[in-house]
Structure 1
């Protein structure tokens, strides 16, 4: 018999969001000149504007500490109100000690050590798994009435070469709770996972990944197709009505770079055509756009087909501008923050769109290796939560537009020097970081030193 007094969490979702990003950035257009490549390759070709960058004074722990303290202080959340905290990342700072244990120093000060959760690790997908786990904890018999925190993000750095401009940095903090203004839709997920080496980091002596760019894009498209079909099936089982992009008000996709997001969004319309039987239907409304691709369908031939690419971009252009572009601010300004990328997109959407009541936001999270999911949120204007009243409030408190404007631009030469600091020191046993702390704002944490026992020490400026 079910206990009658068990807590019941309703409308679980996002109560608040915050992001920590470095105070310095490099211009993608200036990087084009510095790298001696054609104008527009990074800006138009990749769809990027600027890229956040850090030296060796910041790491995943210091950035996570900063994201937590920003969220807690700006939203007036008591540290005693957190019952679960999970870090989703692809950064290993220690092969045994979790990042979450570092963050516990903030909660110990307030006498709260009863916090479930630990680190969840996978390229670009760790944050999504951490979010799923937190929502499921809150909807389970183990929920104790407190909030959950999801911390997700990374520092993305690459060796010199064509992948370097696709780096970035940022860590997002997400407060999960009931009666949320942005509710995760129950029972609506489409997931796909497989074993592939499109992007991986086997070398413990380097932060730089091994990347097969062509394969990674193929994997992204394949995962998107399969996850979309699975989400569509789940939606149709639950609602007993056909699903297509017509049911989506906004969409946020994992953003290695902006141009891939635009192509992928358009590809979802091709999915609608194929999955609805368009190739066999002479009267399908998208027939004129896609009939010449009936023979290739969603197979491998479609991944790098330039004519199909132009067709999906054309049919989705207007919807991209209204449904996706509002989620592109942070991804274009910060670059790729790996596990935090799609959540930086959600925070961008909450900043740029004031009215999300009853709007469906479709999310695609992709992580190399690979792990991927489609899921969705719905704006809940009836939440009537005085502490977290609206999605608009989330964006206002985060204040990302002003914070982006307050950053300091550095030259490509300075950017390269910062990356060299990281490369030189990432394998050292005991060291003091070489980069200056001038760019660290008052009240923020930074890496002070690593001692002879390899214990990392952090200071607050």
Structure 2
């Protein structure tokens, strides 16, 4: 972890929350949720850059003088879904663009100079800005962030775990030799809302090799998944909804298809006390 380079942003927002405890599903304001995510990203990134420049002045390390998207070899995001991550990456490029001296915009951002006078807070749903910066940053996104989206694209939204699923995805996308020395930026987000941007440098050596070697199972587990038709999946979800918050309750579904090491619910007693077991 890079000490002194953690930037957080928090606010009170009803973007995604669970007011009804009798239901497992949240109340979601989709448009507000996206705006909150992007606003948090803007604030965290700007504060991170400020801290990086300040740290550079204190330590004499010039590597943070002009911190920006190119300061990172990879950027990993909290990923509700892939398209939001792609938009968020472009959003960081937009932040860099707006902090660039106007006399160098044409050279550094050809084709985007028409956006030089926009206000960041007015661009959350500006389709022209979004399309322009997503197109401009497409190849950069493929190099720096797409490798981290393997699990997100294959499994879906893992909520808190999605950021660290992104790290796992990135670590298994390259050889240990390629990973050594890489600087990775992270954006962590939780609705309501709280967010943090931080970074780390991967140090080549036995510890990194051991960590990566412990992740070799990921591709195999993905390949072992069982494909079911939508009707069967819908029945499973209907059963889950019908039994939500029931007590006492004993699941009737089979554990035969669970991977070894998976924890599963054995029962819930009349006082809502849960018992779990682990697949051998």
By the TM > 0.5 criterion, same fold?
Answer: yes
Partner residue, 2:187: 364
Alignment of 1:210-221 (within 5 A): 210-221=27-38
TM-score (normalised: structure 2)? 0.91
Structure 1 residue 287, shift from structure 2 partner: 4.7
Aligned to 1:272: 96
Aligned match of 2:113 in 291, 294, 297? Answer: 291
Which structure 2 segments of 5+ residues have no match?
58-64
The question of 1:379 aligning with 2:187 is answered no
Q: Who is 1:320 aligned against?
A: 141
1:294-305 alignment to 2 at 5 Å? 294-299=116-121, 301-305=122-126
Whose relative contact order is higher, 1 or 2, with alpha carbons under 8 Å and at least 6 apart?
1
Is residue 76 of structure 2 the alignment partner of residue 259 of structure 1? Answer: no
Shift of the 443–255 alpha-carbon distance from structure 1 to 2, 3 Å rule, reads closer
- Aligned partner of residue 2 in structure 2, secondary structure: strand
Counterpart Cα distance in 2 of 1:428 and 1:306: 45
Cα distance change of structure 1 residues 358 and 442 upon mapping to structure 2, 3 Å threshold: closer
The question of 1:416 aligning with 2:240 is answered: no
Matched ranges for 1:16-35 at <5 A: none
Write the deviation string for residues 130-186 of structure 1: whole angstroms up to 9, x where unpaired.
xxxxxxxxxxxxxxxxxxxxxxxxxxxxxxxxxxxxxxxxxxxxxxxxxxxxxx111
Q: Distance in 2 between matches of 1:442 and 1:359?
A: 33
Q: Give the drift of 1:206.
A: 1.0
Match of 1:352, SS state, is: coil
Q: Deviations over 1:53-111 (max 9, x none)?
A: xxxxxxxxxxxxxxxxxxxxxxxxxxxxxxxxxxxxxxxxxxxxxxxxxxxxxxxxxxx
Which structure's residues are more often helix, by fraction?
2
Count residues in correspondence: 268
Aligned pairs for 1:52-451 (under 5 A) are 184-240=1-57, 241-276=65-100, 278=101, 281-284=102-105, 285-299=107-121, 301-354=122-175, 355-381=178-204, 384-385=205-206, 389-390=207-208, 392-398=209-215, 399-451=217-269
Return closer, same or farther for 1:227/1:292 CA change in 2, 3 Å cut-off: same
* RMSD, matched Cα: 1.5
Distance 1:445 1:274 in 2: 48
Q: How far, CA to CA, are the matches of 1:251 and 1:438 in structure 2?
A: 38
* Structure 1 residues 435 and 188, CA gap change in structure 2 (3 angstroms): same
- Separation (CA, whole Å) in 2 of partners of 1:340 and 1:372: 14
Aligned mates of 1:295, 1:201 — CA distance in 2:
39
Distance 2:56 2:126 in 1: 34
Contact 1:364–1:372 under 8 Å retained in 2: yes
TM-score under structure 1 normalisation? Answer: 0.56
